[in-house]
Structure formats: structure tokens, C-alpha cells
């Protein structure tokens, strides 16, 4: 099994000053090495700043929170995968539930976004996850496999190069984490789906996201199919993010 990946999704938080302080504290805490792969995903407006702050720190990769499904052209406000690559971006989150909810992104758009990233040499982090209502209606399996199927459809030849993040919507930013058993059950299902579609056994890292924090990370990360974490709130505090990184050793 490959090294775990801990990726921080800063969402629409930060400022030039706050980012600098956070990265300084993070890099000081890591001391030049990391026991797992680490990435931070700032808002697009700060990619240039983060590229510069991380230039001398190869242990922390730069990630983006979204990308256009188009290659380029008349799409006001969008950012292309090639533009992200210009700023040294190595990971791109696609299909985060907040974008599915507020920007009404479809499974097909998410699959295409992953495809654009792969074309640009950037690793997509494809998010899937059910809402509370869907879970209560017994639809978890149906929803997450439908979401992943679209990403598989557009990227069948490159499945070993993607990262998947299982993020139950009811756990994001709520403090209500999936239990390790609940998460593992969905991760195993997603892994089986990926492997049935041609991914090499154990090759795809499937991150868990949803109120992962310094206290619960170790138990979640101990599950066999949990290959890391996508961290929101706890990624904004260097001390907490560092504890999660340690738990992924
Ligand atoms: C996220 O936004 O991807 C996330 C997992 O958020 P949080 O850790 O705050 O639940």
C-alpha cells in the first residue's frame, strides 16, 4: 500500500498574512520531512503566493480546490488545468460537495474536470459522498457508486493516477465524523468498483474527509482502505494539521 496522503482544503479562507503564518508554522513543524504525502489546497487567488512559500519545501505539495471542465476560451471566471500547472499545482480537488451543492456541478462535469487535470499532469482528488437524507434512505451505496462511475467513465485508462475522497456530506464541517467502520465499508465498496473497472489492486488512494481531526485521525487512518484524509477545518490550524500528518505515519 502506498504512502498515505493528507490534503488540506482551505476552502474560502485565508489572507496573504494568514497564509504565510500558517505555512511557516506547518513547515517548521515538519522540519523538512513528512511521514506521509502532504498537500495544501488554498483558494485559487493564493496559488502564486503558495507556490512561492512552498518553493523550498518539496515535502508539501500544492493543490487546487477546483478546475474548469474546459481546456480554455470564453469561460469567464474559470481556471484551466494548464493554468494550475503553471503554478506548480500537483493535486486538484474536483466534485467537492460544496461545489455540487452551490454550483450544481453534475457527475459528468466532475468526471470531465478530472480528465482535464490528468491531461495536464495533475492528480485529481475526486470527491464523492452522500447527504444525511440519502444515508437515512439507504442510498449511500447507490449515490457514491453513481458519482464514482462518472469519474471512471471519463478516465478509465488512467484510474491508477487518480485519488478518490469519500466525504459524507453530513460529516463535512459538522463535527460529526463517520465511524472508522462506516468509512471503511464505503471505502471497500469504492475500491471494489475501481478495481472492477481496471484499477490495479490497492493502487488508488481513497481519502476520508468529514470532520477528521487530531483526535479521530489515527482510528480512521488505521482502516485498511483509508489511504489518507481530506481535511477542512483542522487544516487551518498548523498544530492540528501536523497531528493528523503524524497519525498518518
Ligand atoms: C472538506 O471540506 O473537504 C472537509 C472534509 O471539511 P471538514 O474537515 O471541515 O469537515
Does residue 17 sit within a domain? no
Other CB atoms within 10 A of residue 58 CB: 9
Q: What is the pLDDT of residue 30?
A: 96
Range of the domain at 139: 5-12+34-68+78-247
Grid coordinates given for 173: 464541517
Domains held by the chain: number:
1
**Mean pLDDT (whole number) for 172-190:** 96
Does residue 23 fall inside a structural domain? no
User: Rounded to two decimals, what is the model's pTM?
Assistant: 0.97
Query: Do the domain assignments include residue 21?
Result: no
CB of 95 within 8 A of CB of 104? no
Instruction: Please give the share of the chain, as a percent, with pLDDT higher than 70.
Output: 100
Whole-number Å distance between alpha carbons of 210 and 214:
13
- Do 105 and 88 meet the contact criterion of CB atoms below 8 Å apart? no
Ranges of H-type helices in the chain: 16-30, 47-53, 81-86, 97-102, 107-119, 132-136, 140-155, 180-196, 217-221, 238-247
Given this model, what pLDDT does residue 156 score?
96
What are the b/e assignments for 9-42, b being 16+ CB within 10 Å? Answer: bbbeebeeeebbebbeebbeebeeebebbbbbbb
CA 245, 128, 205 angle in degrees (round to 5)? 45
Of ligand 1's listed atoms, the one at least distance from the Cα of 171 is: 10
Is residue 1 scored above 80 in pLDDT?
no
Whether 200 is covered by a domain: the verdict is yes
Pocket test for ligand 1, best of 6, 127, 231, 236 (most atoms within 8 A of CB): 231
Domain contains 22: no
* Residues 77-114 pLDDT 10s: 999 999 999 999 999 999 999 999 999 999 999 999 99
> Does residue 231's CB lie within 6 angstroms of at least one atom of ligand 1?
yes
**CATH code of the domain containing 105:** 3.20.20.70
Q: According to the model, what pLDDT value does residue 79 have?
A: 98
Q: Whose CA is nearest to atom 1 of ligand 1?
A: 232
| Residue 239 DSSP symbol | H
Is there an atom of ligand 1 within 6 Å of 224 CB? no
Average pLDDT over all residues of the chain? 97
Residue 185 is assigned to a structural domain of this protein: yes
Question: pLDDT for 211-225, tens place per residue?
Answer: 999 999 999 999 999
Average pLDDT over residues 73-80: 98
Q: Quick one: pLDDT band at residue 241, thresholds 50, 70, 90?
A: very high
Contact 130, 84 (CB under 8 A): no
Whether the CB-CB separation of 242 and 29 falls below 8 Å is answered with yes
State the pLDDT at residue 2. Answer: 82
Question: How many CA atoms does the CB half-sphere of 232 hold within 13 Å?
Answer: 20
Phi and psi at residue 21, to the nearest 5°: -65, -45
**Quick check: is 221 in a domain?**
yes
Q: Are 40 and 23 in contact (CB under 8 A)?
A: yes
The answer to whether position 216 is within a domain reads yes
pLDDT tens digits, residue range 150-167? 999 999 999 999 999 999
The answer to whether the beta carbons of residues 113 and 94 sit under 8 Å apart is yes
Looking at ligand 1, which residue's alpha carbon is closest to its atom 7? 232
Of all helices (H) and strands (E), which one includes residue 125? Answer: strand 123-128
Amino acid at each position: 500500500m502506498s504512502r498515505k496522503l493528507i490534503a488540506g482544503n482551505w476552502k474560502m479562507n485565508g489572507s496573504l498574512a494568514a497564509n504565510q503564518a500558517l505555512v511557516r508554522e506547518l513547515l517548521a513543524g515538519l522540519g523538512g520531512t513528512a511521514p506521509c504525502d502532504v498537500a495544501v489546497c488554498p483558494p485559487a487567488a493564493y496559488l502564486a503566493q503558495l507556490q512561492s512559500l512552498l518553493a523550498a519545501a518539496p515535502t508539501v505539495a500544492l493543490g487546487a480546490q477546483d478546475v474548469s471542465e474546459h481546456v480554455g476560451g470564453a469561460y469567464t471566471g474559470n481556471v484551466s488545468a494548464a493554468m494550475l500547472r503553471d503554478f506548480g499545482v500537483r493535486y486538484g480537488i474536483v466534485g467537492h460537495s460544496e461545489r455540487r451543492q452551490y454550483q450544481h456541478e453534475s457527475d459528468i462535469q466532475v468526471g470531465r474536470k478530472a480528465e482535464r487535470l490528468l491531461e495536464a499532469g495533475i492528480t485529481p482528488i475526486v470527491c464523492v459522498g452522500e447527504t444525511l437524507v440519502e444515508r437515512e434512505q439507504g442510498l449511500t451505496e447507490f449515490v457514491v457508486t453513481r458519482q464514482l462511475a462518472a469519474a471512471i467513465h471519463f478516465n478509465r485508462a488512467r484510474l491508477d493516477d487518480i485519488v478518490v475522497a469519500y466525504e459524507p456530506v453530513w460529516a463535512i464541517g459538522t463535527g460529526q465524523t463517520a465511524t472508522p467502520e462506516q468509512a471503511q465499508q464505503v471505502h471497500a465498496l469504492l475500491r471494489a468498483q475501481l478495481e472492477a473497472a481496471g484499477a490495479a489492486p490497492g493502487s488508488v488512494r481513497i481519502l476520508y474527509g468529514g470532520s477528521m481531526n487530531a483526535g479521530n485521525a489515527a482510528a480512521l487512518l488505521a482502516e485498511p482502505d483509508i489511504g489518507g484524509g481530506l481535511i477542512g477545518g483542522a487544516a487551518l490550524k498548523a498544530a492540528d494539521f501536523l497531528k493528523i500528518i503524524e497519525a498518518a505515519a
